[in-house]
Amino acid sequence: MSFDIPKVAYLARIAMSEEEIAAVKPKLENVMAMIDDLVKIDTTNVAPLASPLEQYQTLREDVVTETDQHVTYQKLAPKVAADLYLVPQVIE
């Protein structure tokens, strides 16, 4: 299987121990074996279907409808100061 679990887990930002990777491996292998059946289906000249409703996007008028709610919203945040959401220092 070309499913590089540590690499994919990194892309998805999910910490996984060696044990967890070992435990999930056979389950993912089963799932991927089932999915691999897809590859054999002939889809020449078939257009992909991304949404069941082949309709067009509706557009909204350019109107400001929202008011300042940041105090309410930030009550739900794990770490806030000076109206800012805080994360460990990002070095650029």
Partner 1 sequence: MQWEVIIGLEVHTQLLTKSKIFSGASTAYGATPNSQACLVDLAFPGVLPVLNKTAVEMALKFGLAVHAEINPYSTFERKQYFYPDLPKGYQISQYQTPIVGKGYLDIELDNGQTKRVGITRAHLEEDAGKSLHDAIPHMSGIDLNRAGTPLLEIVSEPDLRSAEEAVAYLKTLHALVTYLGICDGNMQEGSFRCDANVSIRPVGQKEFGTRAEIKNVNSFRYVEKAINYEIERQKEVLESGGIIVQETRLYDASTNTTRSMRSKEAANDYRYFPDPDLLTLYVSESMMAAASQSMPELPWEKAARFQSDYQLSAYDAKVLTAERGLADYFETVVKLSQAAPKLVANWVMGDLAAFLNKNNLSIEASPISGERLAGLIARIQDNTISGKMAKTVFEAMCESNDTADHIIEARGLKQMTDSSALEKVIEEVMTANPQQLNDYRAGKDKLFAFFVGQVMKATKGQANPQQLNELLLAKLKSNN
Partner 2 sequence: MFTYSIKELAHALAAGKISSQELTQLYLDRIAALDPKLNSFITVTAEHALAQAKAADKKLSTGEAGPLTGIPMAHKDIFCTNGIKTSCASKMLDNFIAPYDATVVSKLNDAGMVMLGKTNMDEFAMGSSNENSFYGNVKNPWNIDYVPGGSSGGSAAAVAARLAPMATATDTGGSIRQPAALCGISGLKPTYGRVSRWGMIAFASSLDQGGIMAQTAEDIALVMNAMAGHDEKDSTSIDLPVPDYTTKLQDSLKGLKIGLPKEYFEGLDPKMAELIHTAAKALEAQGATLQEISLPNVKHSLPVYYVIAPAECSANLARYDGVRYGHRCDNPKDLLDLYQRSRAEGFGAEVKRRILVGTYVLSAGYYDAYYLQAQKVRRLIANDFHAAFEKVDMILGPVTPNAAFKSGEKAQDPVSMYLSDIYTLATNLVGSPGLSIPAGFIDGLPVGLQLIGKHFDEARLLNVAHQYQQITDWHKQMPSI
Residues 41, 72 contacting (CB under 8 angstroms): no
Interface with partner 2 in residues 39-78 (CB under 8 A):
39, 41, 43, 46-53, 55, 57-58, 60, 69, 72-73, 76-78
Identify residues 9-28 at the interface with partner 1 (CB under 8 A).
Answer: 10-11, 13
Distance CA 8, CA 14 (A): 9
- Encoded one letter per residue, x for contact with partner 2 by CB under 8 A and - for no contact, window 3-32 reads x-x--xx-xxxxxx-------x--xx-xxx
* 3-class DSSP state of 38: helix
